[in-house]
Amino acid sequence: MVEEAKKAVSRLAPKSGLVLTDVKGAHYNPEVAAAIKGLVSHNTPFVKASAVVGAEGAAAVLLQTVIFLTRRELKSFRTREEALEYLASVN
């Protein structure tokens, strides 16, 4: 899925994408963490705003690590509705 996401996002105009990522129920290991970091770094030129839903426990730690390493602003939300409201409000 990471490679499919890279392909889809790289078709966008620079700084135009609004990205919603739902990580509820996802399982993490070092390989997955590295793939996510690579995806976020790859997507940076194309993304205007990013929202993440379901980052709790290990996912929240991974999210904070990815934010630190990539210097990206990824906003975390408890619900999909909150995330969509945020993305809709981005100018």
Could you read off the pLDDT of 25-68 as tens digits, one per residue?
888 888 988 898 899 999 999 999 999 998 988 888 888 888 89
pTM: 0.84
- CA dist., res. 15 & res. 45, Å (int): 6
Q: How close are the terminal C-alpha atoms of the chain, in Å?
A: 28
- CA dist., res. 89 & res. 77, Å (int): 14
Cα 53 to its chain centre, rounded Å, is 9
Quick one: which H or E segment has residue 75?
strand 74-77
| Three-class secondary structure of residue 13 per DSSP | coil
